[in-house]
Structure 1
Amino acid sequence: MIVSGELPPGERLREVRICNQLGVSRTPVREAFRTLAAEGMVELLPNRSVVVAQLRSPDVEHLYQVVAALEALAGELACQRINEAEIAEIAAIHSDMVGCYERRERSAYLDLNHLIHRRVVEIASNPVLLATWESLLPRVERARAIANLEPSRWIAAVHEHSKMFAALAARDGALLARLTREHFMNGLKFVPTGDS
């Protein structure tokens, strides 16, 4: 709910309401709050309340720079290693994602978008790269989802994904790396931050 923007930055999370909504007791919700705080997704305040963390511009910019570099490297490596079956798999996911965009099914679109990015990183076959990428994923997915709330960014992201897929299918690692970096940095200006 935080990643999708359903729970926006600054919103206070009421423990009882979340327990009822998710159908769980307080213990797993409290554990989840601690985990989310460690990931930078929520802030635990002194009065024992929990709020969705604001996105801060220097932090988001630094995060985007690092994840863009990781995914650019993943793209280069994936272009060296990808096989025809994997290209067909990503083509099908991409087609489904575009269909979700056309139907304005935002949640399904974000899931497929995430799956494409994940598959490219997995196809790169570098466990250190994958582990590092996964550790940063919750924060970047949240910022990316919020950026895609802006209609002009959403359509631009779809077009960027089409170009990125073409580069992957052509096994052009240098082009895919450049397009991946641009994709991230183009989205950055659409991420609202608590200090802007």
Structure 2
Amino acid sequence: MEPDRLLHPLPTARRPLKRRSLHAEAVETLREMIIGGQLAPGARLVEAELCEMFTISRTPLREALRVLEVEGLVTFYPNRGAVVSIISAEEVLQQFEVIANLERIALELAIERMTKADLGRLNRMHDRMIHLYEAGQRRDCFQKDYDMHNRIVALSGNRVLQEMHAGLMARSRRVRYFALHSASRWNEAMAEHDAFMRAINDRDVARASILMRDHVLKTGFLVGEFVRDKGDASPEMLSRADRGPD
């Protein structure tokens, strides 16, 4: 689809950036605008408009856009400039295949290396996630789930794995919200979390890692089907996913 046919107006309010690092601030702000749906898939990222919005020059903005290109959130077209990337169901499934197996390896390493204190903290995170789920606070529960997965990867102690995982999580985060729309998947996912947490506490490396892999693959399949059926993320889709089933 031609990017010129996918124009979306930028938000009009100025968002001046802090001075600690214009490049880093631009990356963070644009990333959140894309993930949160303020910049829709296919939206053209006009440099002059963004520079005025953030009150920065073109150099840090262009550096930020290149970082987001690596993360898969921005696509550059020759003679057209940058647009917010459009993701396909096939790409979603491929991303989750890799994430699932990275997290399987991470959990194997984490179980071997985590201390008693590390395990205690992980259990508390899990308990908090379940509490949020039971209270019907889906968005907060989703964030806690996201934090738990990242914590397990951190406990692997493998920096190369962490960097690969972080990049893929940034690319997939925009569509991971779609898992929120399925009540049945929520129930299933919480049961899966209980199962692999029991295996972690039992120090059952083989069982825990397989349960983790399958848990992530199931989420990826659901998100991929959502994208296939209803298209890539948009503010309306994100809002509907947050509310859950109609």
Q: Structure 2, unaligned stretches of length 5 or more?
A: 1-31, 232-246
Amino acid in the other structure paired with 1:80? E
1:135 corresponds, among 145, 161, 167, to 167
Q: In 1, Cα distance between the equivalents of 2:38 and 2:131? A: 22
2:91 maps to what in 1? 59
Report if aligned partners of 2:43, 2:84 keep a CA contact under 8 Å in 1.
Answer: yes
1:103 maps to what in 2? 136
Identity of aligned residues (%): 33
Question: RMSD in angstroms over aligned alpha carbons?
Answer: 2.9
CA apart distance, 1:32:
3.0
Report if aligned partners of 1:3, 1:142 keep a CA contact under 8 Å in 2.
Answer: yes
Q: Greater relative contact order: 1 or 2 (C-alpha under 8 angstroms, separation 6 or more)? A: 1
Q: How do residues 1-196 of structure 1 correspond to structure 2 at under 5 angstroms?
A: 1=32, 2-4=34-36, 7-11=39-43, 16=49, 20=53, 24-25=55-56, 27=58, 28-45=60-77, 48=80, 50-101=82-133, 102-106=135-139, 108-191=140-223, 192-193=226-227
Distance 1:105 1:58, change over 3 A: closer
Number of aligned positions between the proteins: 193
Distance 1:128 1:31, change over 3 A: closer
Deviations 1:116-170 (A, max 9, x none): 1121112122222222222322113333223333333233222222222222122
Distance 1:98 1:12, change over 3 A: farther
CA apart distance, 1:19:
6.3
Distance 1:152 1:47, change over 3 A: farther
CA apart distance, 1:7:
4.8
Report if aligned partners of 2:138, 2:180 keep a CA contact under 8 Å in 1.
Answer: no
Amino acid in the other structure paired with 1:103? G
Greater Rg, structure 1 or structure 2?
2
Q: In 2, Cα distance between the equivalents of 1:88 and 1:19? A: 47
TM-score, length of structure 1 as denominator length: 0.79
